[in-house]
């Protein structure tokens, strides 16, 4: 039987899908994996820079034209 790993429920569609999968017994809960993914996401947010992103987009644009 196929299983689904759900790491976050953010909206109504996600909630309905989660309820359906839970009713079928197809959801695996792994809190340590979820915590690790959340931590990784927070680290990526801290490293993100709008200046660096704008520079990368501009350089890509210059390569195309």
Does the pTM of the predicted model rise above 0.85? Answer: no
Higher pLDDT, 9 or 21: 21
At 12-44, the pLDDT tens digits run: 777 787 788 778 777 666 777 778 878 988 999
Q: Is the pLDDT of residue 6 over 70?
A: no
**CA–CA dist 16, 8 (Å, integer):** 13
At 44-57, the pLDDT tens digits run: 999 999 999 999 99
**CA–CA dist 16, 25 (Å, integer):** 14
């Amino acid at each position: 039987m196929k299983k689904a790993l759900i790491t976050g429920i953010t909206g109504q569609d996600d909630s309905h899908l989660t309820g359906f999968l839970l009713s079928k017994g197809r959801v695996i809960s792994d809190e340590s994996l979820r915590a690790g993914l959340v931590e990784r996401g927070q680290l990526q947010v801290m490293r993100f820079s709008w200046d660096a992103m704008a520079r990368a987009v501009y350089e890509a644009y210059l390569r195309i034209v």
